[in-house]
Amino acid sequence: MAAPGQLIQLIESFVSLSRSPSQQAASLDTIASLVKNDVLTMKGLVREMEMYLTATDNVIRARGILLLGEVLLSLPSKPLDNTTIHSLMEFFTDRLADWKALRGALVGCLALMRRKSTAGMVTSSDAKAAAHCFLQDLQVQSLGQHDRKLCFELLECLLERYPSAVAPLGDELIYGICEAIDAEKDPQCLMLTFHIVELLVRLFPDPSGPLASFVGDLFEILGCYFPIHFTHPKGEDLDIKRDDLARALMSALSSTPLFEPFAIPLLLEKLSSSLPFAKVDSLMYLNSCTLKYGAERMEKHAEAIWLSIKDAIYTSLQGPALSSTSEYLDSLGFQENEIAREALALLQQVIMQNNGLFLGFIIKDEDVNMILNTVTHYERYNDIPSQGKLKLHAVGCILSISTKSSITSCNRVFESFFPRLMEILGLSVRNSSGVHSPNDNHLLSKRLNFGVLYLCVELLSAHRDLIAGSKEIASQYVSAFETCYCMLQSYSTSLTKAFCSTLATTPHDAHIHFGVKGLQILATFPGDVSPIPISEFEKILITFMSIISVNFSETLKWKLALKALVNIGSFIDRYHESEKVSSYMGLVVEKIVSLVSLDDLTMPFPLKLEAISGIGTSGLNYMLNIVQGLEEAIYANVSEVYVHGNLKSAEITVRLLECYSNKVLPWIHDNGGNEGVLLRFPVNIWNQIESSVDFSVQVQEKELLDAMMTAMRHAVAFCTEESQNKIIQKAYSILSLSTSFPLKEFTSLTIPFQLDWRQLTQRIDNLSHRDEWILLLFASVVIAVRPQTHIPNVKGILYLFMTTLLKGYLPAGQALGSMVNKMGTKSSGSEISSDCTLEEALDIIFQMKLWNQIHSLCSGMANGSEMGDTDLCPSVANNRLHQIHAIAGLSWIGKGLLLRGHEKIRDVTKIFLDFLPSNNRMDALPLKHHSLENSFEHDLHPSVMKSAADAFRILMSDSEVCLNREFHAIIRPLYKQRFFSTMMPILQHLIMKNDSSFSRSMLYRAFAHIISDTPLIAILSEAKLLPILLDCLSMLNKDIQDKHSLYRLLLVLSGILTDKNGQKAAIENARLVVNCLTGLIAYPHKMLVRETAIQCLVAMSELPHARIYPMRIQVLRAISKALDDPKSAVRREAVRCRQAWASLA
Amino acid sequence: MTLGLINANPVVHAKKERVARTEDLHGDDAVDPLEIYDFVRDIRDPEHPYSLEQLSVLSEESITVDDKLGRILITFTPTIQHCSMATVIGLCLRVKLKHYFPPHYKVDIKVSPGSHANEESVNKQLNDKERVAAALENPNLRQLVDECLYSNDL
């Protein structure tokens, strides 16, 4: 039990106004926790607080009551007995009359009333007493915002939780609420008042009950808020938006049909307002009210509503959209807008509610009929005046929505309009024998009228949507032989014919668009309700296919036809219509596959590929067929290349492979995949290589090999582990058959092995083309496999890749990187001799010392037990090349290690750093070694050092070829940040110690590569790097070849300058930054560098005035040159920059 | 001292949309009228809180450039014939171009023929180096020009 004195102190600190709010909150928390932990009972607290609760000083009493209320509020689940609750409730209810201490009473009442029954609830008689007191004593609108909010919450709580207690209050309650909510303006309170009205209406559902006499008053209070005009600035009332208020008001207004006589006229009146949001709101509210008020009440407003809807649609449609695609033709060039959308939604709602009435209006409507009468003048799209287009589009929308609403409305629309349209088109009913009357052909020779074509297609499309949308409708539709069904069926043949002939004859885009659309719609009715027989369906497919294969020069038509075919394909696939699927397969898929395999040169090859990959995406089954065709084409062309060295086939194969790996493979993978297909391609490619022993690729088809490798990588990457195992086994068997690769011998090597190894490598010196292909494709497979996949003879392959790496086969290095990235750390348990763990593999790699093998040999310097062997030492230039290759390969290995966060990455970076000259190492060595080391340094050619510095770029940058997520690399999060923070101190130290300009420049290169790829957030925390970064920029400034690195680094600088933390560092180094940037303003090789440098200077001008003012003259002088830049973008930035700096004065 | 505004009720036109140019990454972009127009269209009118573009004092067509000879000719149209602000507007144009354009261009500024009562004297005044320099020494005039150039109330 807390000492009474302490409690008094706590109470005192809450009540006293001199304490800070945080102190008051703390004392409240302490008291609440005392009560919660049963150290203090509620009764005890009240007794202790007696003098505060009854004090005559208004402030003390108010604070005291508030404390009690707040304590209750923070203990909602503390069980309290009924007497306590009753007496507390009585107290608070009583205090509601005490307007000077009101807040506490409201908080207390609210806290008690919101309690759950498990913790003790307020009885309903107490609630009623509270409500009574509330209605009698409180003048809500004279209170402040927060108190009003509490009042409304209290009302809301009463209505929601104690409806039976407050209902008997009847008129008094309704009147009180009207009075309380009248003229409320605060958005938070308004949300509550709208909800209160909703609850109140629910409480008195009886139309002749007590609410009836107050409906007018209530509506008057609510109605004046419509439409919600919300001008509160942003930042205030963060959680409430205009939409929330509008929605709350909408549910209040539509809560009872009693509002109908008031609400509908108001809404219709506001619909004619010129404010767009008022229109949108009115339409939405009408929609909601229609639903709630019921058909009977709405009937008398029907005509007015129809006229308003029509008006809203006509006036809201806006001028032509500035779009060049054919999509805009769908809506005749009118932009989709919110008002029209809401109006159409409302139309659909009212039609669904009162079918006959509204359709009657539409059918009898003057405007609609007028359009039908004048439509004959609209022969061509371009001839129609914009006003006519608008009306046509509006009628199209209205008819389309009414057709979509229900099957009966669809019937009526068809009955009233379809025959007329057909008549204008000059189409006749299909006669029973299926033979057309002779005048059919005559009629079709003349062009279809555009206006009618448009309306026709709109009707058909709405009809199709209605039927395809729901199964029930479709079944009812057929069994009942609905009018629209019969009608459509009787005209379908001639319609198909008409659309086809439109496509064949007209050169107009709009005609073509709707012709294609019409055919597409006819072909996409669900099977059992399709108005056209299968033969017509096939005719449509044939028409489209002939466009695809013949009319490829008409881009729009070709694209639309392809899209329609894709659409039809995916539709019939989705509805499992086996009959149609088989004709689609035969007519479309097989035809398109044959197109690719044919040596038909009339159709451009890229278009063929676009068509084939497009059609494939319409369904998995089609895709599987297409893949097969595509693969066969690839195999045929590849063997052509292998055997005859045919250049033409090589080019085609490259295209095919690109299509295969960029479009087809990802689609198959995304759509469920099919293991068989994914596996088939790589295995077949390997088979093909295996079978073609005399590989007569005369020409070095680098491009073909690249495309093949890419396809191989992607195909393997998508496979499961099991299939990958199969592929790699296959590939390995072919690899080991080749005599150039001494895999077996490699396996038997033991450490130390240098001499044997070198002899073995000589065999690799002259690889045949075939062996080259085998090697590189094998590397591609290794790059793409999953970590779990078992690679056979790992040691042998490691040796092989390391050897070939030195010959300049970069993929070998990438494959090595992938291997070390994915290798398991401990033996997987299998007892195969070649199986090795990551540690063993790394031992092998590091003991081979590829990178200074040759170097050490040539310099004749003994490295450990190494012997000089001049026989093996090629010319110096060759040696240098080897070193560069070794470094590149090592950097990929390093990347593999870096990604998985392996500690050996330290050793790799150390090797790179050793290649970068640093004289501090010399300092550290005893004098004796000095000359030796010097010769070592001397021996390193600058290009080798440069490649060592560039190795850091490979380490840090993301590669598309290997070691990424697609190729299942193990990637540790934040590896870049980690590497950055380990490398930076080392590089900084080296740069500091080094004073030869060349070696410094190399270190700067490495630094630049690392920092350009590090996320900015990591760099910002290292403020002291800025000076080095600036030195880097000045260094890279010198060589034209470094322009891309320079730009990337400059982007880092601009990132720093625009960040708050970065700016602090920039302030310290302001002069250096400005010097560097002014140097870059005139950078001649890259426009983006100049532009970014100037933008950086603009950012600099935001720094504190005192710091940058001294540089003003310098900057202005430099900028004045940029004003004369050959590029206008740079000039524009220069003007901005000049303005910014000139106004510093 | 004139009392009240010279043109109390000018016609205000809509601002034209700024066209984003298609970036040509190769080759140099010559200075064209649009670029100069972009510099000067936002200069504020000395009398009204509208830009010269909005008051239709300037248009893209009123600027001609000869990039080879390095000559720029700007012809502007004062809103009314006896506008005493014409010289101030001309001065603003000259100052802005002096600051933001390479100095090797020779800039001629004229009022469009027939648009001003004292056309000749205004033209002479605006293209006289010494008189321009002298005008800019006048602190009142200088302040007015700076306000027009750097004002933010557009």
- On chain A, the residues whose CB falls within 8 A of the CB of B23 are 1129
CB burial of A468-487 (b: ≥16 within 10 Å; e: otherwise) equals beeeebbeebeeeebbbbeb
The helix (H) or strand (E) run that includes residue B108 is strand B106-111
Q: How far is CA A144 from CA A102, A189, A316, B149, in A?
A: 11, 11, 43, 49
How far apart are the C-alpha atoms of A907 and A904, rounded to whole Å?
A: 5
Helix (H) or strand (E) run with residue A730 in it:
helix A721-737
Of B35, B99, B150, the CB nearest to A1128: B35
Look at residues A379, A376, A361 and name the one whose alpha carbon lies nearest to residue A303.
A361
The enclosing H or E element of A935 equals helix A927-939
| CA separation for the pair A911, A682 (Å, rounded) | 37
Which of A679, A681, A678 minimizes the C-alpha distance to A666? A678
**Predicted confidence (pLDDT) per residue in A949-975, tens digit:** 888 999 888 888 888 888 888 888 888
* A438 pLDDT above the threshold of 60: no
- pLDDT over 90, % of chain A: 6
Nearest residue in B to A1137, CA atom: B100
A533-540 long-range contacts, CB within 8 A, separation 24+ = A534/A579, A534/A580, A534/A583, A536/A492, A536/A493, A536/A496, A537/A580, A537/A583, A538/A583, A538/A587, A539/A496, A539/A500, A540/A496, A540/A500, A540/A568
Is A289 in contact with A267 (CB distance < 8 Å)? yes
Distance CA A589, CA A599 (A): 18
**Residue B64 host element (H or E):** strand B63-66
Mutate to test the interface with A, among B22, B24, B28, B29 (most CBs of A within 10 A): B29
Other CB atoms within 10 A of residue A388 CB = 17
Q: Are A339 and A316 in contact (CB under 8 A)?
A: yes
Q: Residue A230 CA to chain centroid, in angstroms?
A: 32
CB of A1116 within 8 Å of any CB in chain B?
A: no
Question: pLDDT at position A240, please?
Answer: 76
Choose between A58 and A672: higher pLDDT: A58
Q: Which of B28, B29, B100 sits opposite A1135 (nearest CB)?
A: B100
pLDDT at B131: 92
Residues of A in contact with B31 (CB under 8 A): 1128, 1131
**Which among A1127, A1135, A1143 has CB closest to B39?**
A1135
Cα B39 to the center of its chain, rounded Å? 9
- Please report residues of B whose CB lies closer than 8 A to that of A1087: 25
| Number of Cβ within a 10 Å radius of residue A34 | 20
Residue A861 has what pLDDT?
35
B42 part of contact set with chain A, CB < 8 Å:
no
Position A874 scores a pLDDT of 43
Q: Which of A1084, A1143, A1120 shows the shortest CA–CA distance to B101?
A: A1120
A33-37, A271-275, A852-856, B112-116: segment of lowest average pLDDT: A852-856
- In chain A, what residues touch B99 (CB-CB under 8 Å)? 1138, 1142
* The pair of three-digit structure tokens given for residue B30, joined into one six-digit string: 């010559």
A1139 touches chain B (CB under 8 A): yes
Alpha-carbon torsion (B108, B114, B116, B119), positive or negative: positive
| Among candidate residues A1110, A1111, A1097, the one with its CA nearest the CA of residue A1140 | A1097
In the numeric block, the tokens 């510095």 are attached to A949
| CA-wise closest residue to A596 among A618, A619, A617, A613 | A613
Residues β-bridged to residue B73: B64, B108
- A946 Cβ partners below 8 Å, 6+ apart? A1002, A1005
Question: Which residues from chain A sit within 8 angstroms of residue B25, using beta carbons?
Answer: 1087
Distance CA A20, CA A26 (A): 10
Residue A815: how many other CB atoms lie within 10 Å: 32
Nearest neighbour of A1142 by CB, restricted to B25, B99, B104 = B99
Return the C-alpha torsion angle A603, A605, A606, A609, nearest 10. 100
CB B41 within 8 A of CB B51: yes
**Confidence band of A1064 (pLDDT split at 50, 70, 90):** confident
How close are the terminal C-alpha atoms of chain A, in Å? 70
3-state SS, residue B111: strand
Closest CA to A1031 of A1058, A1055, A1064, A995: A995
- A815-849 pLDDT, tens digit per residue, is 989 988 888 765 444 444 446 777 778 887 777 66
What would the two tokens of residue A641 be? 């290349």
Q: Is the dihedral of CA A158, A162, A165, A169 positive or negative?
A: positive
- Neighbour count for residue A714 (Cβ, 10 Å): 24
Query: Which of A333-337, A357-361, A752-756 shows the lowest mean pLDDT across its residues?
Result: A752-756
Task: Read off the pLDDT of each residue in A742-753 and give the average, rounded to a whole number.
Answer: 57
**β partners of residue B108:** B73
Q: Using the beta-carbon criterion (under 8 Å), do B100 and A1138 form an inter-chain contact?
A: yes
* CB of A517 closer than 8 Å to CB of A465: no
Residue keyed to tokens 């321009």: B132
Average pLDDT of every residue of chain A:
80
The residue assigned the tokens 């420049």 is: A1001
Contact A923, A848 (CB under 8 A): no
Does residue A629 carry a pLDDT above 60?
yes
pLDDT at A358 over 80: yes
How many CB pairs below 8 A link A and B? Answer: 30
- pLDDT of res. B25: 58
Helix axes A794-806, A876-900, angle to 10 degrees: 140
pLDDT at A922 (0 to 100): 42
Of B23, B38, B102, Cβ closest to residue A1123: B102
Mean pLDDT of A322-345: 67
Instruction: Provide the pLDDT confidence category of residue A82 given band limits of 50, 70 and 90.
Output: confident
A974 to chain B, any CB pair closer than 8 A? The answer is no
User: How high is the pLDDT of residue A476?
Assistant: 66
Q: For residue range A92-151, list pLDDT tens digits in order.
A: 888 888 888 888 889 989 888 888 888 888 888 888 888 888 888 888 888 888 899 999
Specify the 3-state DSSP secondary structure of B63. Answer: strand
β-strand B63-66 against B71-76: which pairing, if any? antiparallel
Q: Using the beta-carbon criterion (under 8 Å), do B29 and A1139 form an inter-chain contact?
A: no
The torsion angles phi and psi of B97, rounded to 5 degrees, stand at -70, -30
- Any bridge partners for residue B71, and if so which? B66, B106
The encoded tokens of residue A340 equal 């029209």
Query: What pLDDT sits at residue A931?
Result: 38
Cα pseudo-dihedral A1001, A1005, A1006, A1011, rounded to 10: 130
**Amino acid A926: pLDDT:** 38
Q: What percent of chain A has pLDDT over 70?
A: 85
Which pLDDT belongs to residue B75? 92
> Rounded to an integer, what distance in angstroms lies between the CA atom of residue A1142 and that of residue A410?
71
Six token digits for residue A859: 């310099």
ω before A942 within 30° of 0 (cis)?
A: no
> Which ranges of A524-618 does DSSP label H, i.e. alpha helix?
534-550, 555-574, 578-584, 590-597, 605-616
Note the pLDDT of residue B134. 92
CA neighbours within 13 Å on the CB side: how many for A287?
18
| d(C-alpha A206, C-alpha A201), whole Å | 9
Out of A668-672, A1034-1038, A1098-1102, give the one with best mean pLDDT: A1098-1102
Determine contact: A1138 vs chain B, CB below 8 A.
yes
Mind listing the pLDDT tens digit for each residue in A166-215? Answer: 888 888 888 888 888 888 888 888 889 999 988 888 888 887 878 888 88
The average pLDDT across A1054-1068 equals: 88
Q: What are phi and psi of A901, to 5 degrees?
A: 75, 35
In this prediction, residue A1 has a pLDDT band, given cuts at 50, 70 and 90, of very low
CA proximity to A813, closest of A606, A684, A959, A1031 = A959
Cis peptide upstream of residue A320 (ω within 30 degrees of 0) = no
Q: Do A1123 and B101 touch (CB under 8 A)?
A: yes
State pLDDT tens for residues A758-803. Answer: 555 666 666 777 888 888 889 999 999 888 888 888 888 888 888 8
List of residues 6+ apart from A122 with CB closer than 8 A:
A85, A89, A112, A113, A115, A130, A162
Write the single-letter amino acid at A671.
N
Structure-token pair, residue B68: 């080879």
Q: Are A697 and A747 in contact (CB under 8 A)?
A: no
Bridge partners, residue A585, by sequence: none
